[in-house]
Amino acid sequence: MSFAELGLAPEILRAIDEMGYSEATPIQTKAIPLVLSGRDLLAAAQTGTGKTAAFLLPILERLKKFANPSVSPAMHPVRALILSPTRELADQIGVNAKAYTKYLPLRTTTVYGGMNMDPQVAELRRGIEIVIATPGRLLDHIQQKTIQLNKVDVLVLDEADRMLDMGFIQDIRKIMSLLPKERQTLLFSATFAPEIKRLAADFMRDPQTVEVARQNSTNAQVEQLVFAVDGFRKRALLSYLIRQREMSQVIVFCKTKISADQLSRDLKRDGHAAEAIHGDKAQSARLETLERFKSGDVKVLVATDVAARGLDISELPFVVNYEMPNSPEDYVHRIGRTGRAGASGVAISLMSPDETRQHESIEKLTKQTLTPLPLPEGFGGRPPRDEADSAPRRERSERPERTDRAERPERTDRADRTERTDRPDAPRRSERTERGERSPSLFGDKPRRESRHAADSREPRDTHDEGEGRKTVKLGIGGRILPQRQREVPALLLPPRYKVER
């Protein structure tokens, strides 16, 4: 069906024609008449089938009666609010909205995080009919009272399942509490989950349901390939496939930001023009990377699932799942980046042995059997042992046996570590003082310790009483005090190991 048959205004048809569109897609054919009638709509369609135009075009048709060239902000209140889960998707919707309103005096703007709020505030105060926003940044503007939502006629929740996955449900409820009760609500999603239906029951009034394909199905135009490969060979296999299939443009999906950055660095070392895009990067850097990818300067775009929703690359030929997603719905969205608008594409998944559970979940959701293909020669089996890795093992095996306990020197007895004041041949403190010797004191030097060999060279002898009240102590062989006569020296009386200079 042509767009002219859908009852759209000439200004809108002219903008569509300049964009090169002539025939409406199935989701557009079914959704546009329902939106024009003012009914709430719950629509499910595969990613890349034209959902954005399915709600933007009828919204413009409904708001056409409010279009005016006045410069007064009061003449341009917010009448349509479109919520998006990610910045990239919001930016994509904003680009399409500006293109469709080329010949209509309706103002559109996009607000999302990661950017300076001042230009957004200036734009909103100028007066805007259509606002495309992410939930978090919209709440920031509401808190600062830079936007009013009391005249919103149409609310759109795009990629609603993704917004629920990202934890935006409370933000959505807060935003909806600020909207007029009498409004039209449109909910678009690539997948239908029970949570989506519960959300529709909470916020929508007798919605019409539109499905143009089986729920949670993948695009038939996308060829899906799976390789079962060990994790340590994934990067080498990916680099091989990029060269072997001559991938001029490919999006590679990872689960985490760290793995995306690491893979991007590894691919650069392999000679590929690769860049990473994820939530930790500044929005300006993300937009610059995306533009370089679209222009062909970057051939391999390594992305996380945050970027899976909203990357609209025309005729993208390849998508690679470097790490299998934990949620099977994310698989549908990932491979939906290719095979868009009727074009063909190839989706390749690299499955390690510990990702078989995710693979089974994807097969169950999509009701398909994805049999792993044989690996190219040299990418199967266990890795050969590297000589550098085996060297430390040999060094450990060649270490000499530990010294036998009998051959090790015995530990010096505690009595040897202290001054034996009980020995009869030891000079008294007064005698040492008279001879000018330094006596160990609280701040004195540690007394010189007698070596074990010197002590062992002495003949065993018995001590005798010198008549001045000294105890008689018998010394055993080697000059040691016998255990039964050994005295314990209190720790406070032990000689210190340092001295104070006077």
Domains of the chain: 3-211 (3.40.50.300), 222-366 (3.40.50.300), 412-502 (no CATH)
Residues 6+ apart with CB under 8 A from 368: 218, 224
Q: How far apart are CA 264 and CA 256, in angstroms?
A: 12
Write down the pLDDT at residue 205.
87
pLDDT at site 323: 94
CA distance 421 to 402: 38
Helix axis angle for 51-63 and 10-18, nearest 10°, is 150
How large a percentage of the chain has pLDDT more than 90? 42
In DSSP notation, 234-257 reads HHHHHHHHHHHTT-SSEEEE-SSH
Lowest mean pLDDT: which of 89-98, 116-125, 271-280, 337-346?
Answer: 337-346
High-pLDDT (> 70) share of the chain, %: 72
Question: Which of 20, 31, 36, 50 is closest to 340 using CA atoms?
Answer: 50
**Tokens of residue 398, six digits:** 């060649």
Q: What's residue 199's pLDDT?
A: 79
Q: How far is 72 from 276, CA to CA, in rounded Å? A: 43
First-residue to last-residue Cα distance in the chain: 105
At residue 82, the 3 state secondary structure works out as: strand
Instruction: Write the pLDDT tens digit of every residue in 325-372.
Output: 988 878 888 888 887 766 788 999 999 999 999 999 999 888 889 999
Residue (of 336, 307, 342) closest to 319 by Cα position: 336
Q: Extract the tokens encoding 199.
A: 């959300």
Q: Is the dihedral of CA 206, 212, 215, 218 positive or negative?
A: negative
**What pLDDT digit, counting tens, does each position of 181-192 carry?**
999 999 988 767
Which structure tokens are listed for 190?
């690539």
What pLDDT score does 391 carry? 39
Question: Closest Cα partner for 450 from 474, 424, 428, 479?
Answer: 479
Rounded Cα distance, 48 and 44, in Å: 12
Strand 208-211 with 41-44, pairing: parallel
Residue 425 main-chain phi, psi, to 5 deg:
-85, -5
Looking at residue 87, what is its pLDDT? 86
Return the pLDDT at 443. Answer: 42
Given this model, what pLDDT does residue 45 score?
Answer: 73
How much is the pTM?
A: 0.63
The dihedral sign for the CA sequence 222, 225, 226, 229: negative
CA nearest neighbour of 274 among 293, 294, 288, 255: 293
Instruction: Please give the structure tokens belonging to residue 317.
Output: 């030929």
For 195-217, what is each residue's pLDDT tens digit? 777 878 888 888 888 887 655 66
Average pLDDT value for residue range 84-98: 89
What is the rounded average pLDDT of the residues 102-123? 92
pLDDT averaged over the chain?
A: 78
pLDDT at 395 over 60: no
Tell me how far apart the alpha carbons of residues 15 and 19 are, in angstroms, rounded to a whole number.
Answer: 6
What integer pLDDT is reported at residue 4 of this predicted model? 83
For residue 423, what are the β-bridge partners?
none
What whole-number distance in Å separates Cα of residue 325 and Cα of residue 319? 13
Q: How far is CA 276 from the centre of its chain?
A: 12
Lowest mean pLDDT among 17-31, 144-158, 486-500: 486-500
pLDDT given for residue 175 in this prediction: 93
How many H helices and E strands in the chain? 17, 13
Please state the length of the chain: 502
pLDDT digits (tens, 9 = 90+) for 152-176: 999 999 888 778 777 788 899 899 9
The pLDDT assigned to 484 comes to 52
- Residues forming beta bridges with residue 188, ordered by sequence position: 43, 158
Instruction: Read off the pLDDT of each residue in 410-431 and give the average, rounded to a whole number.
Output: 45
The one-letter amino acid at 32: I
C-alpha angle 188-191-196 in degrees, rounded to nearest 5? 65
Residue 432's H or E segment, with its range, is helix 429-434
pLDDT per residue as tens digits for the range 439-451 = 444 444 444 444 4
The answer to whether 209 touches 178, Cβ cutoff 8 Å, is no
What's the pLDDT score for residue 47? 64
What confidence tier does 436 reach under pLDDT thresholds 50, 70, 90? very low
| Phi/psi at 227 (5° precision) | -120, 125
